[in-house]
Each structure stands twice: as structure tokens, then as C-alpha cells.
Structure 1
Amino acid sequence: RKMAHLLPPSNSTRNGPAEPSTKFHGREEFDYKGNSWMAPPSGLGTLKDDELEMDHHKCYVPKKCVHRFTGHNKGVHRIRLFPRTGHLLLSAGLDGKCKVWSVEQKQVMRTYIGHSAGVRDAQFNYDGSTFVSASFDRYLRLWKTETGQVLQTFTNHAVPYVVKFYPHDSNFFVVGCSNNKIVTYDATTAEITQEYNHHLAPVNAIVFVEDHGTKMITTSDDKKVLVWEWDIGVPVKYISDPTMQSMPVLTLHPSRQFFVGQSLDNTICVFQAQGRFSQQRKKKFSGHIVSGYACDIAFSPDGQFLVSGDGNGKLNVWDWKRTKMLQKFK
């Protein structure tokens, strides 16, 4: 059970944030052409406005594990792919460090050290030039990905559980906290510009959808799903049902028509991402054990396959259309 929100608010923030540092592990930060180490390898297809540029990019079910990245001293809480190209990985570790890895070179490129407790979540902005790390030490940090410089430090004396950038302006990001609130920060001034306070328990997941303007969908330990208009502190819709369980992870389908939630009754639930936001009760993915764990969900870029971890350390792949499990990896 989460204990973070029971701690007194000033417990760890009294001493101030940890001293930030960074270490570069690659061969050189710029190559002979002057390209940064972050530049994608040549010939890589990119997602333009989340539409695949390359026609031949058909996705297949993976057959075997091709590489294991090692380097964190404790568990890894989050992995994020670099926006649009996916040639870099950002990992948030419980050792208080964030690392960026090169998928092509299969090595760690830069380590970002700036938290005195484990990092709970990390998120790239929409061009990958900066990222935010949210830690159990109650601080959030905005980092420059290329140089490892800390641009800003944020705190509201609650533990940040999830962080998401606003899709239309990377100067704003929202944080779901252990004090049941969701807050919007201005990245340039470090001020809170809006509070959303309707959940009755710590907030676990946030996803943005487009439906007559940008809407934000949040879930919490109170087993509710709330839909909010951007920058309006009152929810426009409650999704609550006696049979629903808490959903610690939400992911948007690449078609942007649906979003899925990892429900703690060992299923993945599907909801419409527009209109009535109703649950698609006939479309359920099951066969994995996740109760008590917050296992992440991901889609293949063409939306054909759904992937999730589980509590036994297995990786599960389903067919999105038929909801049939295709593969399990240990």
C-alpha cells in the first residue's frame, strides 16, 4: 500500500533538493559533422504528427529478447521512448538517477543525478529537448536532455506520482500528486497555474485526448476516472461503476479513438477517447496477473498489438482487434 501520502508534508523537503550532476558516457558529444549525440541515426523513419512516414513500417510480434540494458543499481520505475523516432530510451530508476540510452548503440549515453530518493516518473517534452523527472523526494526537475543541465526545480510538498506535458505547449506540464490533487506547472516560472482537486485518493495516471478541444483524463486510487477540460478545475465527466477497479496506468491508442487502462482486477479495460467516453465492455484483455502492481501498457505504432507487463515478470502481447493473447515472454 502506498505510504508516501501519509508522511508529514515537510518531511524531506526541509533540507532542499539534492545537488544535481550529470555524466556523459558516449564517445563524443558531437560528431565530426557537428551533430549532437541525440541526433537520430540516418535513414530512420519518423512519426509526423503521430502518422508513420514510412509505408513499409508494418509491425510484427517480437520473437525473442535481443538486448538487456544494465546500469541502474535498483529497480527501474519508468521507461520512455524518444518522441517520434524512438532511437533513445529514458529510464527512471529507484536509485534516484535518470539515464538516457541509445537503442542503436545499445549503451547508456548520459546519466542525470539530481534526486535524493527514487524517481517515480519521467517524461520527455514533445520534441525530446527537455524532460521532467518526478521523485519520491517530493521534487520535480526539468532537465535539458543534451547537456544534463537542470533548467528548473518544482515542488508542492506532495509526492508526484505521474507527470505529463500539455500537448500544445511544452511550457506547461501536469503532475498527479499524493495529496489527491493534479497541478499544472509553468515550466519557465515554476509556478502552479491551475489545480484540479476532485479525486478522493492519490492520482495515478493522466492522458490527454482531443474531443472538441483538449481534454485530460485522470485515474486515481478512488477507482474513478475523471474527464477534465484543459485549465478548468471542475471535471466534465465522472466514469464510475461498482464493478470498476483502480487503474494505475492509462495509454492512448495510436488511432486516438480509444484509451486503455490497466485495471487491478487482472484485465485491461478499453474506453472511448471522445464523445461519451463510455467503456467498451465487449473489448477486454485478460490472461495476465497484475493485481497489486502498476504495470505499464504500450501499443505498436500501427495500433495492431497491445503489450503489457505483469506481476510475474512476464511480457504479454495481444492482438488489438481480436483481443486474443498472441505471445508471452518470461
Structure 2
Amino acid sequence: MSGYAKGAGRVPTGFAAETFISEHTFREGHRAIEGNAAGNTKKRKREKKGDSSIVSGEGAYKGPWAKFEEERPDAASDDEFGDDVEVEIIYEEDEIEANPAPASKKLAGTDYHDTEVEGETSEFVGSRQYDYQGRTYMHVPNDLDIKLTGDRGDAKNFIPKKLVHTYKYHTKAITQVRFFPGSGHLLLSASADSKIALWDTYHQRELLRTYSGHTKSVNDIDFNPSGTQFVSASYDRFMKLWDTETGKCLNKFTTGKTPHVVRINPSKPHEFLAGMSDKKIMQYDTRSGEMVQEYDHHLGPVNTITYCDENRRFITTSDDKSLRAWEYGIPVPIKFIAEPYMFSMVRSAPHPTGKYVAFQSSDNQITVYSSTDKFRQNRKKSYRGHNVAGYAPDVAISPDGQFISSGDSGGYVCFWDWKTCKMWHKIEASDSPVLAVQWHPRETSKVISGDLNGVLKYWD
């Protein structure tokens, strides 16, 4: 062989020498080897690609997905194995296509199960379902020293000081609490243990009914104005409409995305809005079960929905650190606020006057925006002194509009004066973060708090 060798030396597999070979010599040798290999092996033939105008059936277009043709070894190889031996060649690709294994119903290592399969159940667990007149717990009691119906008047609110009652049923974090609209004689709680519970706020203060049907954490609940129905949203991606009295699930809604917040329209109780994890706000009609409008302008998951201007408009906030105001039913924002100093606002509460909305901002403060035409931030109103980082504690305003309260990641319930923005009081409510806080709509100083351990505490 022409050329030269240099740098000869030992290698682990023997003796090697670096050699120079001309291009021509190399090509000749390469062709000779390839020719031998071609003579020994037979190239597998593919089926015809088919006609691109035929979709299915004989001669259908297969293109690059055409299979290899099944073939028998030729006569030469028959002789090699003996005349009577027939060798069948099985191609791995064809084997896989011919017998596709059915996909596993359950994903290994996960406990996902089909939400459709699991039905909704509800159980009455109170001591008495009916009173002597055959009325259920839905009936507003009138044997109390407080009037729970009619106009509230100008009753003043006070800061609660002592613990009155502890409700225990939930095993995981309380995500939301709601008093029965108007009277407040019942209390609804939602939890991360996927359960919803209805409690009595007077008499024995017992657990009355449980609602099961969600398979993951329930993250929001909302009553209709009459309290006969409520809607729940969960991480199992379903929103469900329940009958408060019977516990029957009346309807289910899903877009395949997680709902973060649900709000029934007080002026149109058969419609509700849902803020979703895919940046959209969906408007549903509970009578038809249809989605009737979609508001798609946010750039991140939607956190809050607050009705204003006699429910003709609503304000939404999102993880995109912006605030948008909308006309109800029109999917184009009428106001968009996004300032460089803004943080995402995770919970909201409208002021009883209807002029303002308070937002829990992620930078450990509560900010206030006007809910009239301008939708401007009220720079004078900022409530600080609590810690919310990493959590989304609820914010609530007393029925007379005098106090604003919030949960705190240190286990406190904090109260501020609405006018002066000074913190009035802190209640040490738990040894874990307090996530849910609501004022009783009728009482002067009753507040409910729910913590990360699933304990509800009633304060006076």
C-alpha cells in the first residue's frame, strides 16, 4: 500500500500505525467492501407510497409511513438451511403496528382518577333535619335576640376580641368561607380536602350537611343572592352548581382548565363568571349549561372577579399584575391598569358603599381602587402590617364599611380602620396561616376565620 506510517505505538487492542492513504485507494477499498455486503444482504422493499388523492382503502396514500413488504428468503438461503426449512423473517416495526398494546387506563405512580366516574354525594349530618313545622335549616330562625331579616339599618360594627366557637370537620386547609346571603344563619366552607361543609351559626353551631363530588382541592365557592344554590370551583377542573338544601349537584361545567375564582352575578342569578388558569374569564348560563361569553385579554391566570356599578360591570385581576374593568357581557376591557410598581392582586372585597374595591396585593399590603367610572387607585389608602407572601389570604370589609380585615401567614387576623388606614387590632387566630376571613352580615362584631390546618374559628 502506498503512503507512509508515523507515530506508531501500542494501543489497548494491539499495535497501531498512523498511515497515509490516497483518496483513490481509499475509495476503491470502500467500494469493494460495500459490494460484498450488498451481495450478501438483500435490501428490504417498501410497499408503494399510494395515491395522495385516496384517503383510505386500497391504494390509499401512505407516503413515508409505508410498511416494508413481507418476504421470504430466496432459494439460495433455502439451500443453506436445508430444503425443508422455511425461515420466516419478522420485522420489528410491522410487529408493533400489527398488535398495538392497549394504553394503560391508569398512569403509573399517580392517583388520577376520572372525575366523571365519581358521582356527587351529599349527607345531612345535623341532629334534626326538620323542625316542628317541617321546615329545614334553610328557614331563617326568628327565635333569636337578633333580627336576621329585613333592612340592616345603620348598625355599627366593632372589632371582635374573643373566640366563641371552633368548627372542626375539614382535614386540610380552608380555602374559602361564605355566610348565607342576608341572614348569615348558615356558613359554607370549602377546603383543600375536596369537601364543602354547611354549618349552623346559631343554636348548637353544628355541622349540618357535607357536599362531596370534587376529587381535588375546592378553591372557591359562591352563593346565589337567595342562598338556595351555590357554585363551587376545584382543581379537578370542574365547576359544580349545588342545591343548598338537598345537596344535589344540579349542573357541571368544565373547559379542561382549572377555575381559580367563581362569582354568581347578583342581578342575574342564573349566570356566573369563572376566572381560569388559562387567562380567560368564562361566563356560563346555569339554566342551559352553556358558556355564553368569553373574556380573553389577561396574560396570566385570573385571580379575582368583583362586580361593581350595580353588577353592570366587573373588575378582574390576574397574575399578569394588571387590573381590567369590563362591561358585563362585552368581551373588551373598558379600562386597563398596569403600572411598573404593581404586584399581582390575589383576593378582593367590594366596599359596602359600592364606590371602592379592596385588593390583597402580593407585596404585603391591601390596595384600594375606585369602582366607578375612573377605576383609579386610591393612593391614600394602603393597609400594611400583615404578611401574605406565598399565600392568598382573603380580605373582608365590615358591613358598615368601617373596618377592613385580612388573614396573615403568621396566623393572625388583622383589622384596620377604613378611614385612617391604621391597624386597630390583631387576633392570634392560629399557629398556621389564616387564609379565609368573613364578617357576619348581621352581627356587630362576629367574624369567621379559617386556617391552613382546616380549623374554622368564630370570633366575637
User: Which one of 33, 58, 72 corresponds to residue 133 of structure 2?
Assistant: 33
CA positional deviation for 1:45: 3.1
Structure 1 residue runs without a partner (length 5+): 1-10
Q: Secondary structure at the match of 1:311?
A: coil
Report the equivalent of 1:7. Answer: none
Contact 1:289 1:311 in 2 (8 A): yes
User: Which one of 326, 330, 335 corresponds to residue 237 of structure 1?
Assistant: 335
1:250 equivalent to 2:379? Answer no
Report the equivalent of 1:159. Answer: 258
Q: How many residues align?
A: 315
Report the equivalent of 1:284. Answer: 382
User: Which one of 403, 407, 412 corresponds to residue 305 of structure 1?
Assistant: 403
What does residue range 177-256 of structure 1 map to in structure 2 within 5 Å? 177-210=276-309, 214-256=312-354
Report the equivalent of 1:45. Answer: 147
Contact 2:115 2:214 in 1 (8 A): no
Closer, same or farther: CA 92–15 of 1 in aligned 2, 3 Å: closer
Contact 2:351 2:397 in 1 (8 A): yes
1:64 equivalent to 2:162? Answer yes
Distance in 2 of aligned mates of 1:244 and 1:233: 24
User: Which one of 415, 427, 434 corresponds to residue 329 of structure 1?
Assistant: 427
Per-residue deviation, residues 286-306 of structure 1 (Å, max 9, x unmatched): 000112211101111111111
Structure-1-length-normalised TM-score: 0.92
Report the equivalent of 1:175. Answer: 274
Closer, same or farther: CA 150–140 of 1 in aligned 2, 3 Å: same
Contact 1:17 1:139 in 2 (8 A): no
Contact 1:17 1:116 in 2 (8 A): no
Distance in 1 of aligned mates of 2:344 and 2:206: 36
Report the equivalent of 1:293. Answer: 391
CA positional deviation for 1:189: 1.5
Q: Secondary structure at the match of 2:246?
A: coil
Q: Which structure carries more helix by proportion? A: 2
Closer, same or farther: CA 124–243 of 1 in aligned 2, 3 Å: same
> Which one-letter code corresponds to 2:147 in the other structure?
G
Structure 2 residue runs without a partner (length 5+): 1-110, 429-460
Distance in 1 of aligned mates of 2:331 and 2:112: 29
Distance in 2 of aligned mates of 1:187 and 1:221: 28
Contact 1:206 1:219 in 2 (8 A): yes
CA positional deviation for 1:68: 1.2
Contact 2:173 2:193 in 1 (8 A): yes
Distance in 1 of aligned mates of 2:388 and 2:410: 8
1:135 equivalent to 2:234? Answer yes
1:274 equivalent to 2:376? Answer no
Report the equivalent of 1:18. Answer: 118
CA positional deviation for 1:30: 1.6
Distance in 2 of aligned mates of 1:172 and 1:47: 25
Root-mean-square deviation (CA), in Å?
1.6
Per-residue deviation, residues 31-61 of structure 1 (Å, max 9, x unmatched): 112222122221543475xxx4345x32111
Report the equivalent of 1:5. Answer: none
Contact 2:115 2:236 in 1 (8 A): no
Distance in 1 of aligned mates of 2:227 and 2:114: 32
Distance in 1 of aligned mates of 2:128 and 2:165: 23
Per-residue deviation, residues 177-219 of structure 1 (Å, max 9, x unmatched): 01110000110121100000000000000000017x7111000
CA positional deviation for 1:273: 1.1
> Which one-letter code corresponds to 1:235 in the other structure?
P
Contact 2:251 2:289 in 1 (8 A): yes
Distance in 2 of aligned mates of 1:287 and 1:78: 22
Report the equivalent of 1:8. Answer: none
The structure whose Rg is larger is: 2
Q: Which structure carries more strand by proportion? A: 1
Report the equivalent of 1:6. Answer: none
Distance in 2 of aligned mates of 1:247 and 1:62: 27
Contact 1:17 1:115 in 2 (8 A): no
Distance in 2 of aligned mates of 1:153 and 1:181: 18
Contact 1:229 1:235 in 2 (8 A): yes
CA positional deviation for 1:118: 1.0
CA positional deviation for 1:15: 5.0
CA positional deviation for 1:17: 5.6
Contact 1:13 1:157 in 2 (8 A): no
Identity %: 43
Distance in 1 of aligned mates of 2:378 and 2:412: 26
Contact 1:135 1:159 in 2 (8 A): yes
Per-residue deviation, residues 10-37 of structure 1 (Å, max 9, x unmatched): x968652631111111122221122221
Distance in 2 of aligned mates of 1:175 and 1:46: 30
Closer, same or farther: CA 323–115 of 1 in aligned 2, 3 Å: same
Distance in 1 of aligned mates of 2:115 and 2:152: 49
